[in-house]
Structure 1
C-alpha cells in the first residue's frame, strides 16, 4: 500500500541549479508540525546564509495520533522500511527536482524527531553525512511504546547500548557518523542520561568502523581524545565535551545545557518547545555539519532538472525573523511538496 507524506522544502535565494547544495532534513517532535518546527528552530534563516536546502517532513496524525515519529517500533527502525524509507524517498525526490550535494545530506531532530534522526543515520550511513540529536535517545533501544517510555525516563545500560551498536555495524557499516548531541539537564521528558548513551553508541560505531571487532570487545580505548570545558552561551552554562578521532577529526560533540528543559535551545518563541536561552542550536548544527562530508557518494543518475517556479505560500508560513544577510538578497519562498512512500513490507 502506498501512502503520502507531506514535507516543506526551504530553497535559499542563492541556490543555483548547476551547483549542488547541501541538504538538511529536520524532524519535528511530538505534537509539532513542519511549519511550527521551521519557525521555532529558525533553521531557514541560517541555511539562507550558507545556501543550504532544508526539508521538513511532517508526521500526520494518521501515522501517530500525537504526531510522534514511530522510532520505537521495529518496522520503523530498519533500512528500506517504514518511516526511514519514506524520509529517504523524500531525499531522493528532492535530489531529482533540485541539485543536491549527495555527500552532504544531514539529518537532525528534536525529541521523537531526534530519535528518528538516529534511526535514519544508523540505517543509511552511506547516505547521511551527519546527525544532530536534541533531547533524543540512542538507536534501536526500544521496541514498544511501553519500553520507549521506560527508556525516556531512565535511559539504558551501557551493555545494551553497545549491543545495539553491534546491530548497526553488522550491516556493513563503513562510515563513522559525525554526531552533535544537545540535551538539557532539567529535561523531565527524556532523561539527560540518554545523551551520554547516544555518545557512547556513536563512539562505539566509530571504533567498529576503524577496527571491526565483536561488540563484547568494544572498549573506550579507541584512540579518541576527549576534551571537556564549560561554555556560557545564551545566558546558560553548558558542559561541552568534544570527541576527536585519531585522525584529528572532531567526530562527536555534546552539549549538556544547565537548567534547560525539554526544548530546542536558542530557538524562537514563534514555535513550540523552544527556549531562547542556551546555545544557538541551528547555527551550531550548520557549522558542525558543513565540516563533514561522506568520503564518497553515488553520482546523480540523471542531470539535475531545472528548478520549477516556487509555489508561493501564505506569508505566515515564512519565518518572520529576517536572515541577517545583505538587503539585496531576497527571501526565498518555502515550497510544499508531497512524496509517495515506498511499499510497506
Structure 2
C-alpha cells in the first residue's frame, strides 16, 4: 500500500508513549517511560452469555498505550483452543482488518480468540507498525514488547494454552509479525507473514525504502532467523513490497530445513506455487505461498475490507490450518 511509503517519508514515529502532538520532521522520539505495564481489565463474556462477541479494550504498557478489538467465540465447555494476534497494515484499523480477512468467522469454527491491536496515530501518522525503526525491533522495548505483553495478558485472562498462541499480519503488520517471531519465540508458536518483510530488513528510513523495493541496503544486517514455524504469502505482482521479500522471509525462517517440497496449482481463481520446507524429522518449518498475478492485498479476503483480494487462495483458512496442525 502506498501509505507505507508516505508514512516512511513523513509520518511521525514514537518510541513509546507518544505526546498528543508530534513534530512531523521527527523520526526518533525519546519518550517518557512509565513505571510498569498497567493492563486494563480484559473484556470477556459473562457466564450467562453463549453468543460470540467482538469487544473493545485498551492496554497501557511502559512502551505506550493501544486500543484493541478482541473476538471471543461463543462460550463452550472447553477453554479457547488458541489465540491469534492479527496486525493490520498501514491506514487500516482492527474492524477493517477483521472484515477483510474474515478471520473471526474461521476462528469461531475452531474455538479461537482473535486479538486486533490498533496502531496509535501518535506513534505513526499512517497507522503503520514501526517495523523499520531500530528501536522497535528488539525484545523488551518498543512495539514488540508492548504487543507481546498484550498477547500474554489476553491469553492468561482467557485461559489460552501458551503453546497455542500465534501472530499474523499484512504488509507493515506482516513485517512486525516477523519481528515478533524473532524476538518472542517463547510467546508465539507460529507466525503468518502476508506481503511483509523479514525481521532486520531495515533499521532506518533509507533502508526501509530500499527493502520495500527489493534492494539490499548497505549497512543493514541480514534478516534474522527464528525457530518459530512460519507461513508466508506474497503476490508476485506486488508493486508496494517487492515479492523478493517473501522469499527472504521464507529463507530466514527455513534455515533449518533439509528438504523442500514444491507444487504449483490452482487455488481459488489464481495459480500458486507452494513450497514446504521440512526439517530432518519431516516436520514443516516454513510454508511459502507465491501467488501468481496477485498484488498487495490479503489473499482470499472479503472486498468489503481494504486491501483484500477475493480471487486468491484463502490465506486466513490456510494460516489457521498451519497454526493448529499437530
Equivalenced residue count is 264
Counterpart Cα distance in 1 of 2:80 and 2:108: 15
Please give the per-residue CA displacement for 1:264-318, whole angstroms capped at 9, x wherever unaligned: 01000111000101100100000000015xxxxxxxxxxxxxxxxxxxxxxxxxx
The answer for the alignment partner of 1:254 in structure 2 is 288
> Structure 2 length as normaliser, TM-score?
0.77
Counterpart Cα distance in 2 of 1:260 and 1:182: 10
The answer for the alignment partner of 1:180 in structure 2 is 231
Q: How does 1:125-204 map to 2 (within 5 A)?
A: 125-156=185-216, 163-165=222-224, 176-204=227-255
The answer for the alignment partner of 1:30 in structure 2 is 90
The answer for the alignment partner of 2:325 in structure 1 is 291
The answer for the alignment partner of 2:141 in structure 1 is 81
The answer for the alignment partner of 1:5 in structure 2 is 66
Describe the shift of the 1:14–1:237 C-alpha distance in structure 2 as closer, same or farther (beyond 3 A): farther
Counterpart Cα distance in 2 of 1:15 and 1:127: 25
Describe the shift of the 1:96–1:272 C-alpha distance in structure 2 as closer, same or farther (beyond 3 A): same
Counterpart Cα distance in 2 of 1:198 and 1:155: 14
The answer for the alignment partner of 2:117 in structure 1 is 57
Aligned-residue offset at 1:19 = 2.3
**Runs of 5+ consecutive residues of structure 2 not aligned to the other structure:** 1-32, 35-63
* Contact kept in structure 2, 1:14 and 1:48, CA below 8 Å: no
Q: How well do the aligned residues superpose, as a CA RMSD in angstroms?
A: 1.8
Counterpart Cα distance in 2 of 1:82 and 1:68: 14
What is the aligned counterpart of 2:162 among 87, 92, 102? Answer: 102
* Contact kept in structure 1, 2:223 and 2:248, CA below 8 Å: no
Counterpart Cα distance in 2 of 1:37 and 1:15: 26
Report the secondary structure of 2:178's partner residue: helix
Aligned-residue offset at 1:227 = 1.1
* Contact kept in structure 2, 1:156 and 1:197, CA below 8 Å: no
Aligned-residue offset at 1:20 = 4.8
The answer for the alignment partner of 2:99 in structure 1 is 39
Counterpart Cα distance in 2 of 1:86 and 1:72: 16
Q: How does 1:104-123 map to 2 (within 5 A)?
A: 104-123=164-183
Runs of 4+ in 1 over 6 A off after TM superposition: none
